Structure 1
Amino acid sequence: MKNILYVLLGVMAGFALAGLLFFVSRAPAGEAIVLQPAPTKSPIVVHVIGAVPRPGLYEFIEGARVQDAIDAAGGLLTSANVDSINLAALLEDGQQLNIPYKSGSEPVETFSEEPNGEDSLELPNDNQDEPVEENTDTDLVNINTASLEELDSLPGIGPTIAQRIIDYREENGPFNTIEDIMDVSGIGPSTFEEIQDLITV
């Protein structure tokens, strides 16, 4: 009788263990952990203008600051007003960063209307007060290369003296200065005074 009881207890224990193993095997498995890559910062584009050597569009990574934009544009001009700039401010995509000038040092720009109705930008000319010298060398008679007719056109020089000038330079070589023309027979100080502003060598 005891043997039968032990057998029944063993069978029941076996069923209990089998049931436990069954439930354990049916438990949901844990999900695998997937590591996501760190997010990359998007580039931003900033338009730098004002008191910098190289104004223009520049690209930065997100988190860049005003100082980075100034460095990219070549630094600050000596006329820049740094007191009104927050160099630590963050840049934003599409921002126009205007570096101000010191009072009175802004570049002067003037506009003039073209014949087609469009306005053109004119920058100030630092040499406006300087007189423009006209080149009149093309109007002067070169006594070393002039023809008989060209020499004859000079006041006080007729065809005879013009031929003497040609003969002189063929025999003695070209004139070194315009004053040397007085070595030609028939040309004295009075004649030279009349033609000195009309000739060249």
Structure 2
Amino acid sequence: MTIDHRDDLARLSSHARAPERARLRLGVGAAIVLLIAALVTAVLVSALAQPTSDRVGAGPDAASSTAGTFSQAPDAQASPAPTIFVHVLGAVRTPGLFDLPAGSRVMDVVAQAGGLLETADPGGVNLARLLVDGEQLYVPLVGESPPGQPSGAAAGGAAGLAAGPAAKVNLNTGSLSDLDTLPHVGPMMAQRIIDYRTANGRFTSVDDLRNVTGVGDKTFEALKDLVTT
């Protein structure tokens, strides 16, 4: 009787391959777990890195905004431009007291006063002259002499003789109205002269007039021969 051992060999072969299949499944499972872990790690790293990037990117903007705020600070603290006050009288449409930027000219204050009247004498004022703070500007009519200057009849005299020089105004005793008759001196400037001598005592010389606020070189040159101490 012949015994067939092929079934036994098949069973032995099957038992021998079982551990290999188990190791293969274990290896595949481990690879899948590692792949999933790698994906999870990548997602976490990306999620954590994004806010950091945003915060880093916001830094220069915040610094730029702060720098812009400080750069604007000097503009907010800029001092206003100096102004002067001029009293306009005579042949203008709206006489009065006007404030203008320092460095303005006669034509600027005449424009603020509404312009010259049709009867004004344009040659009676120098429209290009620089204004000084506190002065009084008089615009004469045609044929009229500005205040402080003799009229044609007075200049020629009744007998046709030349008039003598006008009396000088005393800086120490002159009243507000006396000082107001001087060229380039209006009520405000006249009051400043009186205030100066009240606060500092008598004018010892005509040169002391330079110490009065608003009296510049041009005003002093116009007044030095018309005043005395």
- What is the TM-score when the length of structure 2 is the normalising length? 0.28
Structure number with the higher helix fraction is 2
Which TM-score applies when normalising by structure 1?
0.32
Q: Which structure shows the higher strand fraction?
A: 1
